[in-house]
Amino acid sequence: MDRPAVDRLEWLLRHLPSTFEQWSETEWETPYGPGKWTKKQVIGHLIDSATNNHQRFVRIQFEDVPVIRYAQNDWNTFSYHAQQEGALLAATWKQYNLFLLALLRQIPESALERTGIGGEGKPFTLAYIVDDYVEHMEHHLSQIMEYK
């Protein structure tokens, strides 16, 4: 698959981990704003997103309109991201997304119009979910750092 979103994912994976490595544990545990998640919780949320979108990327290719929902707040709470070490979360985010990047590069263009059902009960194409996955990641990363 050759999509701008996939190229942007590759860029993020090449350039951001060095920034994560510079954060102290205190920085990891500081919310990015009043009433907001910490960097740990944001990166943890992106790991959860990777986990759930991994299913979408795969299942849409062989199931007829799979229903794949994701309760993001429950995933964040019960994955205990706030209690994990920041370095572990950063390494997990990077490695999981390197795997997904390799997977996305293998998906044939012919699969991009296959559909699934998301959390709101609406259908989405595989092309849409790939683009949305990276846009969602960029949105959350922009909340916790300057990277552009």
Domain count across the chain: 1
Q: What radius of gyration, in Å, describes the C-alpha atoms of the chain?
A: 15
Separation CA 31–CA 133 (nearest Å): 23
Q: Name the band, by pLDDT with cuts 50, 70 and 90, for residue 147.
A: very low
69: CATH = 1.20.120.450
Q: Is pTM beyond 0.75 here?
A: yes
Q: Which of 139, 143, 117, 138 is nearest to 129 (CA)?
A: 117
The pLDDT of residue 146 is: 55
Structural element, H or E, at residue 125: strand 123-125
Compare 2 and 67 and report the one with higher pLDDT: 67
CB 126 within 8 A of CB 27: no
pLDDT digits (tens, 9 = 90+) for 86-134: 999 999 999 999 999 999 999 999 999 999 998 788 999 999 999 999 9
* Domain hosting residue 28, numbered range: 4-144
